[in-house]
Structure 1
């Protein structure tokens, strides 16, 4: 099952969005739920979503918001693909490297990506996002799948100059309107981690790695992070990026105004974001 958050009448607030189920080229509203995050608060969210049969919209031309527009937590993992660890000159970590993003950084799968006035080293980082569907603390790795609602595509856009000002990365990772996320939550029964993940700038492939190259798996990350803090429905774990980032190239490459960044994971979908100067 594929679940999306649809903007209505061109609005951008929660009062003008609705959770929808995708069936081919048709989106069916799930009444009473403003977005996929709100739907996940219902313990019977799967049954509710499957039963929806109300107002429909065409997928073609739909104005999609970030699939979960306001997660309670966005926890990101650094150095989690072997080829990226190598290109950045690091060692395979013993424990996950964690940092956070905030809701204001999220944009929809086809929204413009804002280049801030303060940074000219804006880099791409294709990532598999895990979306939590069931509350848990100290979740056993073997039981982690029961707490995962599904998966989506995310690009952890990074302002490298700000990221490396200090040994803490947060300030380079959560800029306003910088993180495309979606297009859909694909439930775990319809996705197996392992398909190809790519990012491309103006049609030129930059990253191309199978998701199975992860050092720390989604199940391990759910278990590890839930040891530290309770995971709630709608929380997001961004599982890290593979090799091919612009900062590691020679010469270094960064996003420029007018370019189009496309991020794809087989079986999950595609983000396509035009790069614009921040208003």
Structure 2
């Protein structure tokens, strides 16, 4: 099932993606959803981010080729850090570059949405705590990343964390292709099977540090091919079985 959040006639609603269009629903994202009203054409709605994360947890250097292109060693354990959930935007919204001449780069990532709270979760039971998966773009200010020696400021600017367009709740995420295009040119093309630390391993590692809660989102790292963004660029990012994020870059 694909769940999305959208704006229609100045109201923000939940919906389920169907072949014939968007079926409005009511209820709880983490509970039951009940269909209501007429099916809407996707062209009639404005996509929102599927949720505003409770915590936004990112993982660095989780693909060998990306670690190499950045000149970094592959960490033996997951390298986790937090970024501000206020950076999240939905598909179709603009990515705004700060008013400074820095190197702003894109990273295409599989995002994991947590559906059930847990501490010390074994990898073998990780799926019990996952609501589903969505697409994420981790926009990063490389100058500040190097200057600070940590990632929070560099990755938390407003609009730096596109998520969406929907949450896929019934998907095996272990071997899906991830692709990102800039102005129609493929810049990243990888597979989730190339992760150093799998999704279950990440859930286990994170939940042994702090509890995972409903609405938390884990950005699982990016494959090789990251590069700069410039005003006027059009970015499209897709994960097999989920959908496509589309964003214009503005200065």
Q: 1:221 aligns with which of 202, 208, 212?
A: 202
Residues 1:268 and 2:242 aligned together: yes
Counterparts in 2 of 1:95-114, with a 5 A limit? 95-114=77-96
The alpha carbon displacement at 1:64 in A equals 0.7
Q: Distance in 1 between matches of 2:200 and 2:107?
A: 21
Q: 2:66 aligns with which of 66, 84, 94?
A: 84
Once the two structures are superposed, residues 161-190 of structure 1 have per-residue CA deviations (whole angstroms, 9 ceiling, x without a partner) of 111112111111111122110011001x33
Q: 1:26 aligns with which of 21, 25, 29?
A: 21
Q: 2:45 aligns with which of 57, 62, 65?
A: 62
The alpha carbon displacement at 1:32 in A equals 4.4
Task: From the superposition, tell whether residues 119 and 238 of structure 1 become closer, same or farther in structure 2 (CA, over 3 Å).
Answer: farther
Q: Distance in 1 between matches of 2:152 and 2:70?
A: 18
Q: Distance in 2 between matches of 1:201 and 1:78?
A: 22
Q: Is the 8 A contact 2:109 2:221 kept in 1?
A: yes
Bigger strand share: 2
**Structure 1 vs Structure 2 CA RMSD:** 1.4
SS in 2 for 1:163: helix
Q: Distance in 1 between matches of 2:8 and 2:178?
A: 30
The alpha carbon displacement at 1:119 in A equals 4.3
Q: Is the 8 A contact 2:173 2:192 kept in 1?
A: no
Q: Distance in 2 between matches of 1:119 and 1:218?
A: 35
Aligned to 1:250: none
SS in 2 for 1:228: coil
Aligned to 1:251: none
SS in 2 for 1:153: strand
Q: Is the 8 A contact 1:126 1:197 kept in 2?
A: yes
Task: From the superposition, tell whether residues 136 and 176 of structure 1 become closer, same or farther in structure 2 (CA, over 3 Å).
Answer: same
Q: 1:143 aligns with which of 111, 117, 125?
A: 125
Q: 2:232 aligns with which of 237, 258, 267?
A: 258
List alignment gaps of at least 5 residues for structure 1: 34-38, 247-253
The alpha carbon displacement at 1:61 in A equals 4.5
Q: 2:153 aligns with which of 153, 171, 194?
A: 171
Residues 1:212 and 2:193 aligned together: yes
SS in 1 for 2:174: coil
Q: Distance in 1 between matches of 2:156 and 2:82?
A: 8
Q: Distance in 2 between matches of 1:175 and 1:192?
A: 28
TM-score by length of structure 1 reads 0.86
Q: Distance in 1 between matches of 2:171 and 2:204?
A: 22
Once the two structures are superposed, residues 230-264 of structure 1 have per-residue CA deviations (whole angstroms, 9 ceiling, x without a partner) of 11111100000111011xxxxxxx21111101111
SS in 2 for 1:223: helix
TM-score by length of structure 2 reads 0.95
Aligned to 1:121: 103
List alignment gaps of at least 5 residues for structure 2: none
